Structure 1
């Protein structure tokens, strides 16, 4: 029996799992990333956790055939990271080489949303499709493009950065420092920012009551929950967000023409109240032929998508 390790490195926590060759997670754990302590510290800590999981499963090190990692940043040739989003680490570090030096096991990596896309494509909502795009709608907006058996990462690892398509000239400021990005409108951060702006003017609504008048408590989920209760104020925000989401998805359809769009992340959990509006508006932004037979699905794997996809990099 052969085993593989999947690692999803996040800014706060890193999820680690040991899987079999079928992509089944046999055992997993989550540890603090502690990136402030440096890359070598973090990688050694991760490897120590892998060994603990292996011991609990009674798996010897020689049976682990590969380590896959999802990294928040652009990855070149599944080895080198151009820069780390939210990590105080140097640019262009060969993480593959470092991890192989620590573990003695073949290591491959890719962007964190790319490995989520790979997980959903092989084991989740995209199973059976050869052309899929996964859009992660969380604090930001990320994308993973899977075409004919391959992830599209581009020359410098920035392929699939869907969140930074420009939807408005001189639009809202994005976390990347530029203006008018898809991410500035369709992410959870974008939803909250739009809601806060409107709540400064109108407090006579279900959303304001739902957060007990405390604007610091506001989350994107509150907006969608209030909208589902029929709150006109919140429904207008959902309509606003869905317009930009349809615009962004439409651009993706026109460029990639996938069979399926997979939406994951917290904003996607809004479900039909958001998806129905996106589907309604999509013909305004996408060529008709790209919508024919198109499937739009919610991700199925949740927090396991990153681990599963990462492990598949070496299977």
Structure 2
């Protein structure tokens, strides 16, 4: 049996797994990234964790085919990170080469959301589809485009950044510094921003009661929880979210025409109360042909393991 290490490097934690050639995670653990200690320190601790997992599971070093990594930032040629979204590391750093020097193993990289998309495409909700797009709905919106067995990274590694499509001319300010982005409306941050705005003028609702009037503490989950309890105020915000989500997804469908759209990330945990509304509104924004012949929009099924699965799929 041969194995691959899948590494999902995050701003705070790094998830590490050993995946068998049969596509099964046989061991995994999470360690602190501690990027402030420097790139070499972080990579050495990741390799120490991988070696520890191999030893605990009596896997020979020779049976490890390589290491795949997902990392927050644009990646070129599966080696070089243009810049790091949350790390104080230098630009245009060849992480793959650094890690090969440490481990002696073949190493390939991709953007973190791209590896989530690859994981869902190969092992999760997109399995069996030739084309799928995974949209990660969290604090922001990330995307990964999977076409004919490959992730579309783009010329400078910025392919799949669907969160920064413009939905509204000179609209709400986005974290990227531009205005009117998909992310500014349909992310968890966008939902919370809209909820606060509405709560300032309407305090007779279940959401306001749940927050004990501390409206600045609202989270997207609070909105969805109250909506599921039948709160009309919160349901209205969910409808707002679904409208912009359908608009953004519709634009993606018209451009790529995938077999599947997969929704991942924290906002997707809202489930059917959001998904049903998105499906209902989608025909307003997507060409009818893009919704035919078995097209489906689904929720991701791999959860926190998606990055491990996707990173391992970079090898071989």
Length-normalised TM-score, structure 2: 0.98
Superposition deviation, residue 112 in structure 1 = 0.6
Asked if the contact 2:196–2:216 (Cα under 8 Å) also holds between the matched residues in 1, the reply is no
- The list of structure 1 runs, each at least 4 consecutive aligned residues, that deviate by more than 4 angstroms after superposition, is none
- Give CA-to-partner distance per residue, 1:236-266, whole Å, 9 cap, x none: 1111111110000000000000001000011
Distance, in Å, in 2 between the alignment partners of 1:311 and 1:227 is 38
Instruction: State the 1:216 CA deviation.
Output: 4.4
Q: Structure 1 residue 141 and structure 2 residue 176: aligned?
A: no
- Counterpart residue number, 1:60: 60
Count of residue pairs brought into register by the alignment: 315
- Partners of 2:29 and 2:36 lie apart in 1 by 21
User: How far 1:228 sits from its partner (Å)?
Assistant: 1.0
Q: Deviations for 1:193-231, whole angstroms, at most 9, x for unmatched residues?
A: 111111122121101112232334321111011111111
Within the alignment, does 1:15 sit opposite 2:15 as a pair? yes
Looking at structure 1, the residues matched to 312 and 214 of structure 2 have their Cα atoms a distance apart, in angstroms, of 42
For residue 98 of structure 1, what is the aligned residue in structure 2? 98
Paired residue for 2:115? Answer: 115
Which stretch of the first structure deviates more once superposed, 211-220 or 139-148?
A: 211-220
Show the counterpart of 2:162.
162
Aligned counterparts of 1:197 and 1:52: Cα–Cα separation in 2: 50
How far apart, in 1, do the equivalents of 2:2 and 2:283 lie? 47
Matched, 1:297 2:284: no
Alignment of 1:124-273 (within 5 A): 124-273=124-273
Secondary structure in 1 matching 2:158: coil
C-alpha distance in 1, partners of 2:214/2:59?
Answer: 51
3-state SS of 1:180 partner: coil
Distance in 2 (alpha carbons) for counterparts of 1:193 and 1:148: 38
CA–CA separation in structure 2 for the residues paired with 1:44 and 1:169: 46
- 212-221 or 248-257, which deviates more: 212-221
Any unmatched runs of 5+ in structure 2? none
Cα distance, 1:86 vs. partner?
A: 1.4
Q: Return the offset for 1:39.
A: 0.9
CA distance in 2, matches of 1:50, 1:101: 15
Structure 1 gap segments, 5+ residues each: none
Instruction: Name the CA distance, whole Å, in 2 between partners of 1:35 and 1:213.
Output: 38
